[in-house]
Amino acid sequence: MISAIALLDLAFHYGRGNFTLFCPSLDFSLGELSLITGSNGSGKTTLSKLMSGILKPQQGEVRMFGKTASSLRLGEIGSQVGYLFQDPSRQLFAGTMWKEMTFADDLLGKEQTSSAERASSLLERFDLLALKDRSIYYLSGGEKQRLALCTILMGGARFLILDEPTVGLDRQNRRILYGIIDDLLAEGRGLAVITHEDELIERYPEARRIKVENGQVLP
Amino acid sequence: MKKADPRVKLFWVLLCTTGVLVFSRPFWVLGIALFTLAGTLSFGVDLQSLLQRLRRFLPLLVVISLLHLLFVQTGEALVFIRGYQVITSGGIIRGVITLVRFFVILCSAAVMGNENIRRVLAALTKLRIPYLFSFMLMIALRFIPSFQSSFSDAIIALQLRGVDLNKLSFRRKIRMYGDLLLPVVADAVVKSRQLAIVMEARGFGAFDKRTSYLEVRMTAWDWIVTGALFTLGAAAFGYYFF
């Protein structure tokens, strides 16, 4: 398996407060699903932000597809590693669903036809194409989450980190999400999912489990 | 000084910000800046966090100062390009003064941001400012970090879609910030509406008067500091204007 993210003996603490996260060496590969579990405030989101390069560790090293993360800019990381926020509203900012999908490509001056084709194909796959002209303010929680995932995939991410993706979703939307996870794994992408949802944990008995307890990552 | 009454801090903020806006002679403005820095540190603001706060605003401050530098054409001409005077001594002075004014405002914000919101509210109530107004003021101040965090999340999310900000042209960057600003402001409006509903649901404003367990009291030391600030302020304004 191809290594996507490698965490090498990390230690991280925020500027203020006493919380420190310690993480022994861990490797996340493409085609693999890792479930990161732990109680509230244990450091799961901090770990996921270290994995995505949003936070930089004070000790140790994060490597992404063989490169040291500290030498990469977030924009470079984003083309390989995607991050779904716990509240997807925080990562949606364009007026309509369609503008949201093409926002990054427009900004980068990419060719419009190919961008539109990719956006259509992703929206169709995530059952959102009929809503493409809808304002993002009128989307349900599940739709916002799927749209946020689509925008990440538009960027070309091969490894995705999902921060508590089942929070606030009803049974139907959870099923849709599981289907998406299955598809992404089948495509060979890597996934790290932060969760304390028993249903999700039970659905993927083969998945790798990583526990975070009081700032200590237990592989 | 860290535990000074919020009224002392408010008076200090009033003195520094009024001084820096009213005085226009360069050495006076620099003097106010030093006085503000000393006060900021004495009131318990950590130097490192102050520098971080200043660093965040640095690009904006530099742009505003540059605009003054280029568009204020008074005093002695110092730099010419093709016969046109571009930089003048007046422009440099105005640029520096503008920079210092923002510095004082940011230091004042850091001091008040470091204070407990309930103590400030109690202090404003003692100053006979209606609770409704002081509460709104405090809520508005507390919205600034939330606004910053929303904007920062949007920038992070955009980069994690593969947008390398360093590779964007200046024009595209300006467009991007403009596009991101509108939804962040809209989000702040939505949050403020939700807050209003929540406050009404909790019975905010149901009675004319509001009681509080927390009482702030001026100590002898607070009165001494206030007296010293008042004397210093009166002397400075008197000397400057008369």
pLDDT in tens, A55-67: 999 999 999 999 9
pLDDT score at A17: 67
Q: What's the pLDDT at B32?
A: 93
**Cα B113 from Cα B50, distance rounded (Å):** 11
Per residue in A5-16, pLDDT (tens digit) is 999 999 999 876
The bridge status of strand A190-194 relative to strand A159-163 is parallel
Between CA B150 and CA B158 the distance in angstroms is: 12
Considering Cα of A135, then A136, then A137, then A141, what sign does the dihedral take? positive
Chain A residues with CB inside 8 Å of B156's CB?
Answer: 54, 74
Domain boundaries, chain B: 1-115+216-242, 117-210
Return all residues near B90 (Cβ < 8 A) that are at least 6 apart: B72, B73, B74, B75, B76
A53 forms beta bridges with none
Tell me the whole-structure pTM to 2 decimals: 0.73
How far is CA B140 from each of CA B131, B147, B182, B191, rounded to the nearest angstrom? 14, 10, 18, 11
Q: Is the pLDDT of residue B39 over 90?
A: yes
Percent of chain A whose pLDDT exceeds 90? 66
| Weakest-pLDDT range from A47-61, A173-187, A196-210, B70-84 | B70-84
Query: Which of chain B's residues have a Cβ under 8 Å away from the Cβ of A151?
Result: 161
Q: Find residue B79's DSSP bridge partners.
A: B87
Quick one: which of B52, B12, B57, B54 has its CA closest to B35? Answer: B12
Does the pLDDT value for residue B74 go beyond 90?
A: no
Cβ distance A28 to A190 under 8 Å?
A: yes
Q: Which of B157, B161, B165 sits opposite A85 (nearest CB)?
A: B157
Q: What is the mean pLDDT of chain B?
A: 86
Tens-digit pLDDT profile for residues B83-119: 777 788 888 888 888 889 989 999 998 898 888 888 8
Asked if the Cβ–Cβ distance from A91 to B153 is below 8 Å, we say yes
Helix B6-22 and helix B26-42, axial crossing angle in degrees, nearest 10: 160
Among A69, A95, A89, A97, CA closest to A154? A97
Span A31-50, pLDDT tens digits: 999 999 999 989 999 999 99
Q: Give the mean pLDDT of A106-124.
A: 89
Q: Does the model's ipTM exceed the 0.90 cut?
A: no
Q: In sequence order, which ranges of chain B are alpha helices (DSSP H)? A: 6-22, 26-42, 47-71, 89-113, 117-126, 131-159, 170-201, 220-241
- In tens, the pLDDT along A126-184 reads 889 999 999 988 899 889 999 999 999 998 899 999 999 988 888 888 999 999 999 99
Q: Is the pLDDT of residue B232 over 90?
A: yes
The dihedrals phi and psi of A102, each to the nearest 5 degrees, come to: -100, 0
Residue B64 burial class via C-beta count within 10 angstroms: exposed 0-12, middle 13-18, buried 19 and up: middle
pLDDT of residue A16: 66
Confidence label for B236 from pLDDT (cuts 50, 70 and 90): very high
Provide the β-strand partners of residue A61. A8
Q: Do B179 and A93 touch (CB under 8 A)?
A: yes
| Half-sphere exposure in the Cβ direction for A121 (13 Å, CA) | 8
| Cβ-Cβ contacts under 8 Å, A79 against chain B | 162
Q: What is the pLDDT of residues B165-203, one digit of tens each?
A: 888 888 888 888 888 888 788 878 888 888 889 988 988
Q: What is the DSSP letter of A56?
A: -
Residue in chain A nearest B171 by alpha carbon:
A107
Q: How far apart are CA B103 and CA B40, in angstroms?
A: 11
A6 and A67 Cβ atoms separated by less than 8 Å: no
The letter for the amino acid at A35 is L
* Per-residue pLDDT at A147: 94
How much is the average pLDDT of B60-81?
81
Identify all chain B residues contacting A109, using CB atoms and an 8 Å cutoff.
172
